[in-house]
Structure 1
Amino acid sequence: MSQMLLESVNVGQPVALDAGRPDKRTGICKQSVAGAVRVHGLGLEGDAVVDTRHHGGPGQALYLYSREDYAFWAARDVATGPGMFGENLTVSGIESADLCIGDRLAVGDVVLEVTSSRIPCATFARRMGDPGFVKKFRDAGRPGAYLRVVAEGYLEAGQAIELIPFAGDRISLGEHFALVFMAMKKPLPREMITRLLALPLAERDRADNLERLAAL
């Protein structure tokens, strides 16, 4: 794996994707910003989270996507660029599916922890202007990474990223992403749910797995 680099820091304010529904706004439209941006326990200063039922919170404070993932989409004539998929951090040097839950990323004084893969939704499809994009994103298996802020500080494009592998049971985001969609069709085995619950999952993800375990 090559050296990981923070290529872009992206923030967004609420916008309406549907001109016919100006009251329905989203924070998915992120723009690259210059200079150092403060990161705190709930994300980047100046960044908006509108749908707080499904997004944001300590376990999903930031969303990361990589240039390597974008190269896959660009080869398929999908619009790409920093923030295009709603990510706060655009990085290079890794494919997101290869990150494991519990891995940590040290960027200057900031420490971030991988907590979950991104599950696509209708808002994402509207952002991409493609009603079928949820399925395309699922099939591509390049989910990006939700991150928890372990140590606050400032982030700026150009910083090197040190990957600190999780010392425990390693479940990649690619594997996690596939398991989420598998669980939509049939119950996950108890052993797999127990493995997931032993990881530092995002809060929503943990709640989902506790429900799955209770339903067995």
Structure 2
Amino acid sequence: MSNRNIQLINLSIGRPKMMTYADSKQMETGICKKTVNEAFLSKEGFKGDGVANLKHHGGPDRAVCIYPYEHYSLWEKAFNVQLPPSAFGENLTVANMLERDVCIGDTYQVGDAVIQVTQGRMPCSTISKRMNLPSLLDRIIEEGYTGYLCRVIEEGTVRRDSSIRLLKRHSKQVTVLFANQIYFHSQNDIEGMKKIIAVEALASVWRQKLLKRIEKLSVF
């Protein structure tokens, strides 16, 4: 991966608010974020940002949500729609940081902050509800184009025009796409799960889930 080609396309934050979807149904969600020029990134996430469902979102291992810009054109073509900025509720929309190229444990300098990739995102139905595209979630999981989450190693300000630079590639080189493939599609692949667990930077929620799967499979 070349640092020269990595680019921050959009920086977005937002507090949870009520979202109307599907014939006037409502839910509270933090997915509807707005583009900002700069924001301070703390260990818990961006100041001014937030999540509604603390069980499945947020926390130190999931402080920053990233989504590759390249997928926008794919989904727009597939569903014949025009997607808004931060359509998937991500904080950072980035170019040339695809799931196939980014590894669990990789560290990046983003503006004044340093972040580390901890897990692939576990997308939920809120994405489909926001876009009014019922099959979008299934397609995202099918392709493994989920985006990914990061912890904050060093706090600092991130600006819309900040550069992103790979500081260190993790030695295990377990890509986000590989982890997504094992997690969503190869749930009996014990060796694959062990390979993911071997990455010490892996988010605790993924580690726990994979360990439970291995334990369950090992009983038989």
TM-score by length of 1: 0.89
**Contact preservation (8 Å) 1:11, 1:44:** yes
1:172 alignment counterpart: 175
2:136 alignment counterpart: 133
1:80 alignment counterpart: 83
Q: In the comparison of the two structures, how many residue pairs are matched?
A: 211
**Contact preservation (8 Å) 2:16, 2:28:** yes
1:212 alignment counterpart: 213
What is the CA distance between 1:109 and its match in structure 2?
2.5
Q: Which amino acid in the other structure matches residue 133 of structure 1?
A: L
Q: 1:17 and 2:19 equivalent?
A: yes
* More off after superposition, 94-103 vs 82-91: 94-103
SS of equivalent residue, structure 1 residue 98: coil
Distance 1:90 1:55 in 2: 18
Q: Which amino acid in the other structure matches residue 176 of structure 1?
A: A
The percentage of aligned residue pairs carrying the same residue is 31
Distance 2:100 2:115 in 1: 17
1:50 alignment counterpart: 52
**Contact preservation (8 Å) 2:50, 2:58:** no
Q: 1:84 to 1:194 in 2, by over 3 A?
A: same
Distance 1:169 1:145 in 2: 17
* More off after superposition, 108-117 vs 77-86: 77-86
2:65 alignment counterpart: 63
1:143 alignment counterpart: 146
What is the CA distance between 1:89 and its match in structure 2?
0.7
Distance 2:128 2:197 in 1: 30
Q: Deviation string for 1:57-111 (max 9, x for gaps)?
A: 1111110012222222233324324211100111223323321111111123211
What is the CA distance between 1:42 and its match in structure 2?
1.1
Distance 1:119 1:211 in 2: 17
**Contact preservation (8 Å) 1:110, 1:154:** yes
* More off after superposition, 201-210 vs 51-60: 201-210
* More off after superposition, 93-102 vs 56-65: 93-102
SS of equivalent residue, structure 2 residue 100: helix
Distance 1:10 1:75 in 2: 23
Q: Which amino acid in the other structure matches residue 63 of structure 1?
A: C
Gaps of 5+ in 1: none
- The one of 79, 99, 121 equivalent to 1:118 is 121
**Contact preservation (8 Å) 1:104, 1:164:** yes
Distance 1:3 1:94 in 2: 9
* More off after superposition, 49-58 vs 113-122: 113-122
* More off after superposition, 92-101 vs 196-205: 92-101
Q: 1:31 and 2:46 equivalent?
A: no
SS of equivalent residue, structure 1 residue 75: helix
**Contact preservation (8 Å) 1:97, 1:143:** no
* More off after superposition, 131-140 vs 75-84: 75-84
Q: Deviation string for 1:126-181 (max 9, x for gaps)?
A: 11211211111122332211111111001001111111342321111111111111
Question: 1:196-207, aligned counterparts within 5 Å?
Answer: 196-199=196-199, 200-207=201-208
